[in-house]
Every structure is written in structure tokens, then in C-alpha cells.
């Protein structure tokens, strides 16, 4: 079946521009996570949704970062007034939430954002 998809795969933005990154989770997956992966580093947690509710946004690095999942399926991560330090790969993952589930997270291919 289809996995997690993300678009665009690559995005180049001039400093100060706003960007929107899209994630399509696996159908039926209740939970959705966003991670940021800087070059040469491991992914770091940004925010987490269960259905349409944003349960944890403690990892968002500044108030320029905003995420939404209005219908509990597709999610968008928006970055306003991009800065060079925002350059990274943005990963989306989804998982089921069922009793006894190991809550395995399935990752998308990521969006590589380069801010020039």
C-alpha cells in the first residue's frame, strides 16, 4: 500500500519568504509527527498530532513555525520569514494508535529545504 508522502521533495527559498510543506500520512493512521533533520544530525522532534488535535508542539524552534492538520489527515508545516538556520530536511511520520500496538512510526522521504 501507499506509504507516507511529502511534497515538495526539494524547496529553495530566499531568506524572508514563507514556505509550506505538506505531509500525506498512511490512510487510517491517527498520529502524525514532524521532525527536523539538520545536515549530519539525527532527526529532532518538532510537533505531534493525534487526529486533528496538536498534542505537543514543544519542539517547534520559534513562533515562525506553525503546523496544522485540520481534518485529521493531511498536515502542513508552515515556516514564516525563513532564515538560513531553517535549512534542513523536514520529515513526517505517521503511526496507528491501537491497544497494545508498538506504535511504529512510518517515515516519509522528507522535504529538503534550502534557504539562501
For residue 32, the minimal CB distance to other proteins (Å) is 11
Nearest approach in angstroms of CB 40 to other proteins is 7
Nearer CB in complex with other proteins: 19/110 = 110
Closer to other proteins at the Cβ: 4 or 19? 4
Comparison of 90 and 115: residue with beta carbon closer to other proteins: 90
Total residue length of the chain? 116
Question: Which positions touch other proteins (CB under 8 A)?
Answer: 3-4, 31, 33, 35, 40-45, 48, 50, 56, 59, 91, 93, 95, 97, 102-110
Tell me the backbone φ, ψ of residue 26, rounded to 5 degrees. -65, 135
At 85, phi and psi to the nearest 5? -70, -10
d(C-alpha 110, C-alpha 39), whole Å: 13
Strand (E) or helix (H) holding 36: strand 31-37
Task: Print burial letters for 12-50: b (CB count within 10 Å at least 16), e (below 16).
Answer: ebeeeeebebebbbbeebebbbbbbeeeeeebeebbbbe
Could you tell me the smallest distance in angstroms from the CB atom of residue 5 to other proteins?
10
Smaller CB separation from other proteins, 17 or 105: 105
Closest distance between other proteins and the C-beta of residue 85, in Å? 18
Amino acid at each position: 500500500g501507499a506509504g507516507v508522502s511529502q511534497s515538495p521533495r526539494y524547496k529553495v527559498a530566499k531568506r524572508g519568504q514563507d514556505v509550506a510543506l505538506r505531509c500525506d500520512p498512511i490512510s487510517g493512521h491517527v498520529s502524525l509527527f514532524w521532525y527536523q533533520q539538520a545536515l549530519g544530525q539525527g532527526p529532532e522532534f518538532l510537533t505531534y498530532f493525534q487526529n486533528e488535535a496538536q498534542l505537543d508542539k514543544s519542539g517547534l524552534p520559534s513562533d515562525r513555525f506553525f503546523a496544522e492538520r485540520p481534518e485529521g489527515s493531511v498536515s502542513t508545516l508552515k515556516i514564516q520569514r525563513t532564515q538560513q538556520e531553517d535549512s534542513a530536511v523536514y520529515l513526517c511520520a505517521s503511526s496507528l494508535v491501537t491497544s497494545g500496538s508498538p506504535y511504529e512510526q512510518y517515515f516519509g522521504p522528507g522535504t529538503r529545504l534550502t534557504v539562501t
